[in-house]
């Protein structure tokens, strides 16, 4: 064979540093990992803010911060956790997994994909820079007027606004990208009703983002105009209406909570069948429930505004009660999937089980608030804080960690250590319940949310101290996870293509997958193409591993 000699300079152009490669990449897998890393850093940051909040509340009195700083802390904690942690975590998982799961080479618009990502750290830095410009935003993540008006809050709120415009645009562009990818780039044979549930949830979430976020963006623009150009949208003195903001905010805000839970439900629906060695029970019912949640999600927003007296209670109460039904269907599906399955308790499955228990409580917490008389009593108390953390932390974050343990071998070619994983799981589960369960009781006792201090005579001290201890348990539980990632990345990359004996296409390629993902795809005849390949199309359950070698008849 003739050898081709390149000119000495020719290769140099292509030797770019790894850093340059990561900063300029348009590969959906790398962008996905960037998303996840960025979200994790903001998770640590917002977690630190939470520790300060909890330390302040551990006992009565103001020990660490004054009330103005306290307001900034919970505002930045909430906004960051929702917009820079949970949403981008899910977007990152979607970025990594969706193209692989539908057998595509990349996202539909790779460069827009990179743009969507880079708006996030930019937005985050802008928002946090408020701390150095006279104080960060301090009105809570819901930013109600009049508190959010220029009269009461400084440039931190303007930075908050600009950041949320950026982050909102990022998620809108991301959702367009997901939808175009799912509509147009599915591999031959990958019909809509053969897509993994995770892809379905990302699809419905993207629809929610596409239709809800722009309304929020319009509201945030209005707030900016009120604050900076003498506008009067939310100012009753000049003919505006502060309730208008609440309507705009929650028209987005309620779909947002489903934006934040549906993909986590998708993760659980990937993990539970694989570790129960069964197909998901009621695939179509699950998809139907997801679509129903997406639709109903737009008709319940005013349950956040019951106490304003400005909304039609019967309608919104009825719809809010209804939206619990599809979630119930899903619980039925998950439990029936595990029923008589051969369950293995690997870390992804543990986090999935943690999700099922904790999220169930969180959902029920919300379901009873659908009744206006109950909500009148519990609105703006610690009950709400308990509810949102049981669904967000016990739900979405547990889903994110289940996904992290599940897809880590695909991303990096090595499995995270099971022992450390279990330590992480147990500590995190205990921490979650210890922190957030007492908040129910505090809510029932009438402790309002968003206060920096309380009277020793109120009788809230013990429960608050327990919650504070719990928050430090959560903080400690993150350490074994970080250590686990660190040592695993330094160890051998020997996980193989398909360490979990899983069902979906991402496991049909190498770990990590090559650029553009696949050399070959197995035939796609069901929602479990890889399972069909290994065990034969039409088989219901996985065979013991030994029979794998003879499973080639799956070729048809």
Partner 1 sequence: MAAQVQALPAPAHGEQRGIDTALVGMLLFIASEIMFFAGLFGAYFNIRAEHTVWPPQGFELDLGLAAVLTVILVSSSFTMQYAVSRIRKGDRTGMVRAMTVTVILGVVFLLGQAYDYATLGFGISSGVYGTLFFTMTGFHGAHVLGGVIGMSIVLLRGLSGQFSARHHTAVEAVSLYWHFVDVVWIGLFSTLYLLR
By CB under 8 A, name the binding residues for partner 1: 103-110, 112, 172, 175-177, 179-180, 183-189, 210-219, 221-222, 225-226, 229-233, 235, 238-241, 244, 247-248, 251, 508, 516, 518-523, 533, 552, 554-556
The answer to whether the beta carbons of residues 283 and 290 sit under 8 Å apart is no
**Binding segment toward Cu ion, per CB under 5 A, in 75-83, 137-145, 254-262, 536-544:** 254-262
Backbone φ and ψ for 423, nearest 5 degrees, come out as -60, -45
**Binding segment toward Cu ion, per CB under 5 A, in 99-107, 251-259, 370-378, 487-495:** 251-259
- Which value, to the nearest 10 degrees, does the dihedral of the CA atoms of residues 470, 471, 472, 478 take? 110
Regarding 388 and contact with ligand HEM (CB under 6 A), the answer is yes
Regarding 324 and contact with ligand HEM (CB under 6 A), the answer is yes
Give the whole-angstrom CA distance, residue 149 versus residue 259: 28
In the complex, minimum distance from the CB of residue 131 to Cu ion, in angstroms, rounded to a whole number: 29
In the complex, minimum distance from the CB of residue 257 to Cu ion, in angstroms, rounded to a whole number: 6
State the binding partner of 41 from ligand HEM, partner 1, Cu ion, none, CB within 5 to 8 A by kind. Answer: none
In the complex, minimum distance from the CB of residue 273 to ligand HEM, in angstroms, rounded to a whole number: 22
Secondary structure letter of residue 547 according to DSSP: G
Considering only residues 236-265, where is the footprint of ligand HEM by CB under 6 A? 257, 260-261
Regarding 29 and contact with ligand HEM (CB under 6 A), the answer is no
For 230: left if phi > 0, alpha if psi spans -120 to 50, otherwise beta; the answer is left
Give the whole-angstrom CA distance, residue 256 versus residue 168: 11
In the complex, minimum distance from the CB of residue 122 to partner 1, in angstroms, rounded to a whole number: 20
The answer to whether the beta carbons of residues 45 and 80 sit under 8 Å apart is yes
CA distances 215 to 174, 208, 210, 256, Å, are 16, 11, 10, 12
* Per-position DSSP letters for 12-30, written without gaps between them: GGG---HHHHHHH---HHH
Can you read off the two tokens belonging to residue 260? 């934040």
- Of 114 and 350, the one with the shorter C-beta distance to partner 1 is 114
Regarding 46 and contact with ligand HEM (CB under 6 A), the answer is no
Q: So which residues are the catalytic ones?
A: 77, 106, 141, 170-171, 254, 256, 258, 269, 303-304, 327, 330, 449
- Of 284 and 556, the one with the shorter C-beta distance to partner 1 is 556
Can you read off the two tokens belonging to residue 324? 């619990």
State the binding partner of 231 from ligand HEM, partner 1, Cu ion, none, CB within 5 to 8 A by kind. Answer: partner 1
State the binding partner of 370 from Cu ion, partner 1, ligand HEM, none, CB within 5 to 8 A by kind. Answer: ligand HEM
Q: What is the CA radius of gyration of the chain?
A: 24
Query: What is the SS3 assignment for 195?
Result: coil
Give the whole-angstrom CA distance, residue 229 versus residue 162: 15
Regarding 296 and contact with ligand HEM (CB under 6 A), the answer is no
State the binding partner of 246 from partner 1, Cu ion, ligand HEM, none, CB within 5 to 8 A by kind. Answer: none
The answer to whether the beta carbons of residues 262 and 201 sit under 8 Å apart is yes
Measured in residues, the chain has a length of: 556
Give the whole-angstrom CA distance, residue 98 versus residue 198: 8
Regarding 254 and contact with Cu ion (CB under 5 A), the answer is yes
**Binding segment toward ligand HEM, per CB under 6 A, in 50-58, 153-161, 368-376, 518-526:** 368-376
Query: What is the SS3 assignment for 470?
Result: helix
Regarding 382 and contact with ligand HEM (CB under 6 A), the answer is no
The answer to whether the beta carbons of residues 198 and 269 sit under 8 Å apart is yes
In the complex, minimum distance from the CB of residue 251 to partner 1, in angstroms, rounded to a whole number: 8
- Of 347 and 396, the one with the shorter C-beta distance to ligand HEM is 396
Residues in contact with ligand HEM by CB under 6 A are 142, 257, 260-261, 303-304, 320, 323-324, 327, 363, 366-367, 369-370, 375, 379, 384, 387-388, 391-392, 395-396
């Amino acid at each position: 064979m003739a050898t081709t000699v390149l000119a000495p300079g020719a290769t140099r152009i292509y030797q770019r540093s790894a850093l340059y490669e990561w900063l300029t990449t348009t590969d959906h897998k790398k962008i996905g990992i960037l998303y996840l890393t960025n979200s994790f850093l903001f998770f640590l940051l917002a977690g630190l803010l939470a520790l300060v909040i909890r330390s302040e509340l551990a006992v009565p009195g103001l020990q660490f911060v004054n009330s103005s700083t306290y307001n900034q802390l919970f505002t930045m904690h909430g906004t960051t956790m929702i917009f820079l942690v949970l949403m981008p975590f899910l977007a990152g998982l979607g970025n990594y997994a969706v193209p692989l799961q539908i057998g595509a080479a990349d996202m539909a618009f790779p460069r827009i994909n990179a743009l969507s990502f880079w708006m996030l750290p930019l937005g985050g830095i802008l928002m946090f820079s408020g701390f150095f410009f006279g104080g960060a935003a301090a009105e809570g993540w819901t930013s109600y007027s009049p508190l959010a008006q220029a009269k009461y809050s400084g440039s931190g709120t303007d930075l908050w606004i600009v950041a949320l415009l950026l982050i909102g645009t990022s998620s809108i562009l991301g959702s367009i990208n997901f939808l175009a990818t799912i509509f147009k780039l599915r591999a031959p044979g990958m019909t809509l009703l053969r897509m993994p549930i995770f892809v379905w949830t990302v699809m419905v979430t993207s629809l929610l983002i596409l239709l809800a976020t722009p309304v929020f963006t319009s509201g945030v623009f209005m707030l900016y105009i009120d604050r900076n150009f003498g506008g009067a949208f939310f100012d009753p003195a000049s003919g505006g209406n502060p309730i208008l903001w609440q309507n705009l905010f929650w028209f987005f805000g309620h779909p947002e909570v489903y934006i934040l839970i549906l993909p986590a439900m998708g993760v659980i629906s990937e993990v539970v069948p694989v570790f129960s060695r069964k197909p998901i029970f009621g695939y179509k019912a699950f998809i139907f429930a997801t679509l129903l949640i997406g639709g109903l999600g737009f008709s319940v927003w005013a349950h956040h505004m019951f106490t304003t007296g400005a909304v039609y209670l019967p309608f919104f109460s009825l719809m809010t009660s209804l939206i619990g039904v599809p979630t119930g269907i899903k619980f039925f599906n998950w439990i029936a999937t595990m029923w008589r399955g051969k369950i293995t308790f690997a870390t992804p499955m543990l986090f999935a089980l943690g999700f099922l228990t904790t999220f169930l409580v969180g959902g029920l917490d919300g379901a009873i608030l659908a009744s206006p008389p109950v909500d009148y009593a519990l609105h703006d108390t610690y009950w709400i804080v308990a509810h949102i953390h049981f669904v967000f932390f016990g739900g979405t974050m547990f889903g994110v960690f289940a996904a992290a343990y599940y897809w880590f071998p695909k991303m990096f070619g090595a499995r995270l250590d099971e022992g450390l994983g279990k330590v992480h799981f147990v500590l995190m589960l205990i921490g979650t319940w210890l922190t957030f369960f007492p908040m129910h009781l505090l809510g029932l006792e009438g402790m309002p949310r968003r206060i920096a201090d309380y009277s020793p005579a109120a009788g809230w001290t013990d429960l608050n101290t327990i919650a504070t201890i719990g928050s430090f348990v959560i903080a400690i539980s993150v350490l074994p996870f970080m250590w686990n990632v660190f040592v695993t990345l330094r160890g051998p990359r020997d996980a193989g293509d398909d360490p979990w004996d899983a069902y979906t296409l991402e496991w049909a390629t190498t770990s990590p997958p090559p650029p553009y993902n696949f050399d070959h795809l197995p035939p796609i005849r069901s929602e479990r193409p890889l399972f069909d390949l290994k065990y034969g199309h039409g088989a219901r359950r996985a065979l013991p591993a030994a029979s794998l070698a003879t499973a080639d008849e799956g070729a048809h």
